Structure 1
Amino acid sequence: MEDDTPRGRESISLASVANGLDNRGAELLESLEEGRDPGSNSSPSEVGNSWSKAGPEPSSGWRRRLQPAPRVRHFCREHAQLFQWICIGLLCTAYTAFLLAACILNFQRALALFVLTCVVLVFLAHSLLKRLLGPTLLRCVKPLGHPCLKLWFKRGLALAALLGLVLWLALDTSQRPEQLVSFGGICVFIGLLFALSKHHRAVSWRAVFWGLGLQFVLGLVVIRTEPGFIAFQWLGDQIQIFLSYTESGSSFVFGEALVKDVFAFQVLPIIVFFSCAMSVLYYVGLMQWVIMKISWLMQITMGTTATETLSVAGNIFVSQTEAPLLIRPYLADMTLSEIHVVMTGGYATIAGSLLGAYISFGIDAASLIAASVMAAPCALALSKLVYPEVEESKFRSEEGVKLTYGDAQNLLEAASSGAALSVKVVTNIAANLIAFLAVLDFINAALSWLGNMVDIQGLSFQLICSYILRPVAFLMGVAWEDCSVVAELLGMKLFLNEFVAYQGLSEYKQRRLAGTEEWVGSKKQWISVRAEILTTFALCGFANFSSIGIMLGGLTSMAPQRKSDFSQVVLRALCTGACVSLVNACVAGILYMPRGPAVDCVSLLNTTLNSSSFEVYQCCHQAFQSTSPEFSLEALDNCCRFYNHTICA
């Protein structure tokens, strides 16, 4: 018995050591933070009492040396806000010094950075003034909210807009009468949509006219004013430079030869890169901030609800299935009119990742960006014309409507997730291109076979579309000789997809820039610059029959209980989205103005030409038609090297 007791105590002490071995470091840190000796279970007061009785501990000097660590940590926590402001102040000071140095060295080179800084400062000042003076300004403006004053203000604004439009058409179209055709096209398309409206008497004309007005103002700034045109041209150039960095990654993975020569390795990696960049911008909150500002402007002017406006604003940057994710928690409670707006916004715009692919085709970047931005208010306006609101919405104000920031935990995860999600988009595009181009070739072969039986040569899908949709192209403001080609592209976009149509448009543009003959036999080889711009606007949207399944599948996965409601309005939304792109093209037709310096044909043709171009073709065409002696024999010889004409014989 005497031998058993010590063994029992020994076994207990060994067990306690084994159980506490892993936590010894944690207990040591906790004891130091609480002011206790390591290994002591006493509180600081108990330790003080024991020290007064038993004298100073041998470890007290060591503990006093380590005690400043928790004090420093406590001080940092207590003054964290101050440290944050100090860091922000230092960063702002450094950025200001950098901006000043850049402007002093070369202001023209630093102009873009200076403008971006001014834009950010304006928004920051607006937010600060809104927070400080917002309630005061609301009290001052409240007396002006009298119903009679509001009514007269609306009537005066409507009258001013009508007079301005009449004066614009009278003065501006005197030099370019084709703009009147585009205006007539807008009237025809809007009249057609009103005839197909679900509830004619419930149409909110405020939303319709304000939406069309915002679209016109945006187009006016981008297309007609010099600062707006330069700004969007600069933005398009920067996007092209940004997308060119894709070549570094794709060349490393696939090799330079494939990237330069093969379409799949040249264009599709751009979608991966752009999707990665957009995911990062969503993670940091920049995209949400931009979407909120755009939706706020449309909501206060058009009187639409928060959820539908946020979805349409999001469609400027993301696709038809990604934009509804911004309002996913609210889809179950949205009205049919709001769902129709969500679908129309998806059909009327294109995704930012595909925007990069179309720019890589050679499509004008400024026109693509302008078309995507202008389509947002137009989609809201025409959607409210076709399917007016007759129910009571729960989302009249933005209160309670929050935008999500995604599931990524850090910046690297956001970039990786964006690249991974784009793989599905890339494979979907590749599969659709293979399928649709193969089907198109089969349909053309079948139509040609049937046409040969009745002595109709060259019957094809493109030929049928060129006849059926030619009036639509003409209403957009396209010259009649270009309408057949534009109608073909519109048919490709509607019955196949916009990717195939933009690829066809890029081929026509490349032939024009290369200076190819305009006609080869009875087939037109390229279209005018005006027709290219209007077609770029008209093709900018997902409104094609293959997108019906994509739209229904995406929305049904978010709100399965609304499947029947989605199916009820999807066809009407598809037609509305297609008309939004056409009205967008009509507005561009009203505002389009030829730009660029005039070419000195005499000087150009008198120099040695190594290759043809569009300018060379124009000058040679002018030289062949001219009877004046200003064009020398050398100039005519230069033209005859590239083009056949009777004068060359």
Structure 2
Amino acid sequence: MESNHKHNNNNSKDTDPLNTPPDKEKETAILFENHLAPDDDNDSFYDSSDDDDDEKMREAACVNRVVIRLQRGVSRVTNAVNDRFGGHFLAIVCVLLYFAYFIYAMYYRFGDESSIRLLVCTILGVMIAVRHQVCKLVGRTSLARWWKGEKSPAAARRVHTVRFFTKWLLYGGVGAFMAYVIVDVAIKDADKLRSLPGIFVFLLICFLFSSAPAKVNWHTIYWSVGMQFILAVLVMRWQGGKNAVLWVQSRLDEFFANSKPASQLMFGEKYYDHYMIFGALPIVFLTNSALAMLYYLGAMQFLVKAIGNSLRFVLGTSAIESTGVAASIFMEGASAMLALRPYLGKLTHSELFALTSACLSSIGGAFLAILAQLGIPVEFMLPAMVISAPATFAVCKLIAPETRKAKKITFGGELPLDMQYSSILEAAQAGAISVVSLVANVVVVAFAFFALIAWANETCTWFGDRVGIQQLTMEKVLSYLFYPLALLMGVDLDDCRNVAMLMGLRLSSSNFVALLKMAQLVGNRHQFQQYSMIPNATVTYVGDHIILDQLNVTLIEGYISRRSEAIATYALCGFSGILSMFITLGIMTTLVPHRRKWLTSQAFTLLMAGNLANFMVGCFAGMLV
């Protein structure tokens, strides 16, 4: 057995081409060159065409070696040049090409709106690109080092004196500015001053519900109200500010219009027949995709940090809560909190209360896109989103003032790993996908609550009919319950019940339902104005409804004026409904599980804070629009 095994092994070695002896290799090579197989027969191993194939393979191998050497040479040169420029050679080339284009574009035509837009965007881009280097240079200056470093007693006293007089000079200047605005409004239209008491009443309500009245920082409250005055005057009274808002609205309309080809591709040419589901809602994918791309490029971090640092400097609030409230202006509340997730566990109760309230008192950029397509004026929503930031602090720092020293946490604008992208295309894709749940939530909530409201109206009408009350609906009940709040905001008396109804709908369902109802009332106004131009047109009033006799059309709940529309839009620009509050609390308790008990105990005050912040913004709209 053993000998057979050895014999077999020897045979396998002889036939194994890998173990062929050198003499055998030479013999095989000669046979191959003579086109003979190593066997005794004379069968041809190659045919005549194989010579050409072999030649092609040798040529291909030669070309392959040349290409590889060329690639290696180019790679070495590219790496050397890239290292020479700190790894930014391609970026530098792109920047130089852009500036060449920019200079020629400015030379070719300057003075029209497009050239000004290009100039402003270029300046902003340069500011975003060099912001870190500028901050480092400023921090290295002798004045900055002296201001932050140790000072002699005499120098410290001088700094204290300068700060003291500067602080009180600014206090007086802002107070005088607010007094001037109030007097100016009184002279031009005294009826608008009906909104002024509402500001102080809402602040008083917050103070009465304060968890620590003795700890209220009145510096923060004063400057929060002052900032609202300043911002409101800039965007509502100053013509330059109003023009800027209208310009932004036009640019947003142009941007949103780019979704039309996509809707036509996905849903067909007649998608407009079902515009809300096939036209308005898909715009949120485009908007959030663009926001994610801006985050990847660093533009949104620059804007959020600029606003957050301004709030922190003026109001004296912490860096994290200022940045979080600023982020809520542009991002939907949950997304803003996710960006601050690593820091939430270190916040005080007051800071966490302010951040959670900010989720309820603003709507974010993605939701703005949907509402704009449904007819809600962007010229009202944009200022409302910005003014809501100081309004949130005014309300929150009264209800939940800081009772202990907050930890000093530095926020550098970093994003969590799941919000960091490897390329701008990944950012665009992830941004679009991330709002699928938001769109689904809007569709479900709108359908469910409109159906529930219809059922509630039928039920209320049935109960009212049992006791002789005709046309008793949920809207009518809400219009009476929230009537005093609408009156405090300065709404026109004829529209108080309709605006109060919208406020009640927002609280009991969602702001989306309320704003859809408002869009219906605004559409009724436009239809009524067009009908009024018809000669001898007559109307019939049946309760709150208006019947256009010649058209046989009924305007359900009537309509609201332009001024009341502005006040209602400002007051409804926030997720301050019961449903949104529970969703926000669920997200926050997931992000900060050790604060679950405290957060759930603050549900009512959080809901109140979000609503009062929006109502206060509505007061400024009533006074200045």
- Interval containing the TM-score (normalised by the shorter chain): 0.7 to 0.9
Deviations 1:313-360 (A, max 9, x none): 111111121110111012222211111011110000002111111111
**In structure 2, C-alpha distance between the alignment counterparts of 1:3 and 1:266, rounded to whole Å:** 79
Does the Cα contact within 8 Å between 1:247 and 1:259 map onto a contact in 2?
A: no
Matched residue type, 2:541: V
Scaled by the length of structure 1, what TM-score is found? 0.78
| Structure 2 CA distance for partners of 1:78 and 1:166, relative to 1, 3 Å | closer
Q: C-alpha displacement at 1:439, in angstroms?
A: 1.2
Q: Return the match for 1:326 from 339, 344, 352.
A: 339
The answer to whether residue 214 in structure 2 is matched with residue 209 in structure 1 is no
Equivalent position amino acid for 2:122 in 1 = T
Counterpart of 2:414 in structure 1 is 402
Contact 2:185 2:624 in 1 (8 A): no
Q: Matches of 1:111 and 1:355 in 2, distance apart? A: 25
Aligned partners of 2:136 and 2:82: how far apart in 1?
A: 28
Question: Given the alignment of the two structures, is residue 563 of structure 1 paired with residue 569 of structure 2, yes or no?
Answer: no
For 1:114, give the aligned amino acid.
L
Counterpart Cα distance in 2 of 1:85 and 1:447: 66
1:74–1:535 CA distance, 2 compared to 1 (3 A): closer
Q: What's 2:38 paired with?
A: none
Which string of whole-angstrom CA distances, capped at 9 and with x for unpartnered residues, describes residues 66-111 of structure 1?
785675355235324373575155224323224314534x634422
Name the CA distance, whole Å, in 2 between partners of 1:4 and 1:123. 75
Deviations 1:514-542 (A, max 9, x none): 31568733426221111111111001000
Check conservation: 1:103, 1:111, Cα contact below 8 A.
no
Matched to 2:608, the amino acid is: C
CA distance in 2, matches of 1:249, 1:565: 46
Q: Aligned pair 1:131/2:136, yes or no?
A: yes
Residue pair 2:128, 2:302 contacting (<8 A) in 1 also = no
SS in 2 for 1:456: coil
**What letter corresponds to residue 206 of structure 2 in structure 1?**
L
**CA apart distance, 1:255:** 1.8
Pairing 1:519-534 to 2, within 5 Å after superposition? 520-523=541-544, 525-534=558-567
Corresponding residue for 2:316? 303
Deviation at 1:172, TM superposition (A): 2.8
Q: Aligned runs of 1:164-563 on 2, under 5 Å? A: 164-394=177-407, 396-398=408-410, 402-404=414-416, 406-514=419-527, 515=529, 516=531, 520-523=541-544, 525-563=558-596
Partners in 2 of 1:349 and 1:305 — Cα distance? 20
Partner Cα separation in structure 1 for residue 427 and residue 502 of structure 2? 37
Q: Which residue in 1 is equivalent to 2:116?
A: 111
Following superposition, the deviation at residue 133 of structure 1 comes to 3.7
1:151–1:68 Cα change, 3 Å: closer
Q: Distance in 1 between matches of 2:69 and 2:284?
A: 58
- Measured against aligned partners, the alpha-carbon deviations of 1:130-171 in whole angstroms (never above 9, x if no partner) come to 432443232565747633442333223222222222232123
Partners of 2:164 and 2:240 in 1: CA distance? 35
Question: Does structure 2 conserve the Cα–Cα contact (< 8 Å) formed by 1:102 and 1:110?
Answer: no
Encode CA deviations 1:456-478: one digit per residue, 9 max, x unaligned.
11111111111121111111111
Which has the larger displacement, 91-100 or 529-538?
Answer: 91-100
RMSD of equivalent CA atoms: 3.0
Asked if the contact 1:277/1:418 (under 8 Å) is kept, the reply is: yes
Q: Aligned pairs, how many?
A: 545
CA deviation string 1:200-256 (max 9, x = no partner): 011111222222222222222111111211111111111122112222112222222
**CA distance in 1 between partners of 2:221 and 2:232 (Å):** 17
Amino acid at match of 2:93: C
What does 1:577-596 correspond to in 2, within 5 Å? 577-592=610-625
- Amino acid of the residue matched to residue 555 of structure 1? M
1:556 maps to amino acid? T
Paired amino acid for 2:337? P
Corresponding residue SS for 1:146: helix
The answer to whether the Cα contact below 8 Å between 2:387 and 2:617 also exists between their aligned partners in 1 is yes
CA contact (8 A) 1:508 1:525 kept: yes
Cα offset, 1:6, TM superposition: 10
Deviates most, 567-576 or 557-566: 557-566
Q: Structure 1's 74 and 503: CA in aligned 2 closer, same or farther, altered over 3 A? A: closer
For residue 2 of structure 1, report the CA deviation from its aligned partner: 11
Corresponding residue for 2:3? none
Q: Distance in 2 between matches of 1:535 and 1:479?
A: 11
Question: The residue matched to 1:256 in structure 2 has which SS?
Answer: coil
Using the alignment, how far apart are the partners of 1:64 and 1:363 within structure 2? 61
Deviation at 1:422, TM superposition (A): 1.9
Runs of 5+ unmatched residues, structure 1: 16-60, 593-649
User: 2:275 & 2:138 partners in 1: Cα distance?
Assistant: 59
- 1:86/1:191 CA distance change after superposition, 3 Å: closer
AA partner of residue 566 (structure 1): L
Amino acid at match of 1:281: L
Query: So what's the TM-score if we normalise by structure 2?
Result: 0.80
The AA in structure 2 aligned to 1:115 is V
Contact 2:82-2:89 at 8 Å conserved across structures: no
| Partner Cα separation in structure 2 for residue 80 and residue 132 of structure 1 | 21
Residues 275-309 of structure 1, C-alpha deviations (whole Å, 9 max, x = no match): 22222222222222211111111111112112212
Distance 2:67 2:331 in 1: 59
**1:596 matched to which residue of 2?**
none
- Deviations for 1:394-432, whole angstroms, at most 9, x for unmatched residues? 2x3425773347143322222222222222111111111
- Give me the whole-angstrom Cα distance separating, in 1, the residues matched to 2:566 and 2:78: 62
Cα gap change, 1:407 to 1:11, in 2 (>3 Å): farther
Compared with structure 1, are the counterparts of its residues 461 and 72 closer, same or farther at alpha carbon in structure 2 (3 Å cutoff)? same
Counterpart of 2:106 in structure 1 is: 100
In 2, Cα distance between equivalents of 1:14 and 1:571? 86
* 8 Å Cα contact 1:237/1:365 also seen in 2: no
Answer with 133-142 or 240-249: which moved more.
133-142
Q: Structure 1 residues 225 and 116, CA, compared in 2 at 3 Å: closer, same or farther?
A: farther
Match of 2:44 in 1: none
Aligned counterparts of 1:447 and 1:72: Cα–Cα separation in 2: 80
* Shift in alpha-carbon separation, 1:162–1:446, aligned structure 2, 3 A: same
Give the 5 Å matches for 1:625-640.
none
Query: Which sections of structure 2, spanning at least 5 residues, go unmatched?
Result: 1-5, 21-64, 149-154, 533-538, 545-556
Partner AA of 1:273 in structure 2: L
Give the aligned residue type for 1:530: R
Report the Cα distance in structure 2 between the residues aligned to 1:576 and 1:89, rounded to whole angstroms.
47
Higher deviation after alignment, 209-218 or 530-539: 209-218
- Report sequence identity in percent: 28
Give 1:128 shift: 5.2
Q: Which moved further from structure 2: 310-319 or 118-127? A: 118-127
